[in-house]
A and B are shown apart, each in its own frame.
Chain A
């Protein structure tokens, strides 16, 4: 118990002293997550809208597939992207492996199905009536779609935020594709994993506290948006 309390105390002093190594990891996490969620949104929102609004063939199968993609383990995504960007892979020449860009690619692939599914569910149910309503009031195709987007904007924001919560807290992709390089690809989660295994419990706890706060904040914003 003493060990735990000592570490907790040490972790607070790390946070309060704005420890460089600690904040570098926090910064990398946020940077990587923000970029990956941008790409995930660019992929996932149009995909969710397309599946929800268009007459796509095998719609039910596509929706089931999209749902299943949310459950793909992070290490599997890591493995897949690794295969593409490692020296021998088809994209090996780009030298992406063990860079923040590699983590961004993996995290974007992880979050895109989440964003797509939340977008999809935000245009079902009552919201399925938005387009017909706008059209029967005389709006053209473009105007109706714009109205739809403005009506479901909170749903889309919730989609993006839940994707963000997923990528900032995952460790598999960041470890396999980033490689946990100090001051370069070390994120909060990979740092926690490493520091703890080294016995550097205080830094692990400090990062854990920050990660928890970020996750909590994200969750609160998500809840507020869901209630709209």
Chain B
């Protein structure tokens, strides 16, 4: 089986600044990838591309064996398989419940199923009973977990997490780590950024290290133009 994502000679510029320049990178289904690197190394930029939210400036991206055409309509079905939880997530006006329901409604999932999935997702992140709370009035850590639950409720094929552990206290971080490490068992591929110098071993996935927009080979490994990582 080929990789889920295949990136080749991929670059992304913001104005004149080259934010990303990846010669080659493969991401395989059912693995957990930790994306590390200093501030401004292009981690969020890469996640934005993997989420089909912002097109690369040049290069090719294959998803599920097919080249991605960066045209409006063709991206919607791809975005329905891949969900990104932003570094500082935006929660919609209204209740926590309506936040979690948004993506389910978009997919035309019946209301009964919505209700049970929402309850389950909130329970998973340790926020049972938060359904009727006003989302915009939550604390930073609570909001982070609601955003995670909002993505989990969609049972995405790929879950992209930008600093999921940044705002949360130690106990919640444990909970989130546990949730994440259980995801490959449910068939979900995870790519998460982290500032942990050595990402938690319980996640036992692969590490992709970015430096100034380039994938730097893991320490000790010989530099290769294409870095394949298989879990």
Enumerate chain A interface residues (CB-CB to B < 8 A).
126-127, 129-130, 132-141, 143, 147, 150-151
Contacts and interface: CB of A to CB of B under 8 A. Distances in A.
Chain B binding surface SS class: mixed
B199 interface: no
11 contacts: A129-B86, A129-B90, A130-B92, A132-B48, A137-B106, A138-B76, A138-B79, A139-B102, A141-B72, A150-B93, A151-B93
B197 to A, nearest CB: 28
B190 to A, nearest CB: 15
B79 A135 contact: yes
A99 to B, nearest CB: 42
Contacts of B48: 132
B89 A133 contact: yes
Chain A binding surface SS class: helix
Interface residues of B, number: 24
Given A132-B53, A151-B92, A151-B93, A139 B86 contact: no
Contacts of B150: 137
Nearest to B77: A138
B107 interface: yes
Contact of A130 (B88, B90, B151, B154): B90
A203 to B, nearest CB: 46
B99 to A, nearest CB: 9
Contacts of A138: 76, 79-80, 83, 103, 106-107, 154
Nearest to A150: B93
B118 interface: no
Contacts of A141: 72, 76
B51 A136 contact: yes
A150 B98 CA distance: 13
A211 to B, nearest CB: 34
B22 interface: no
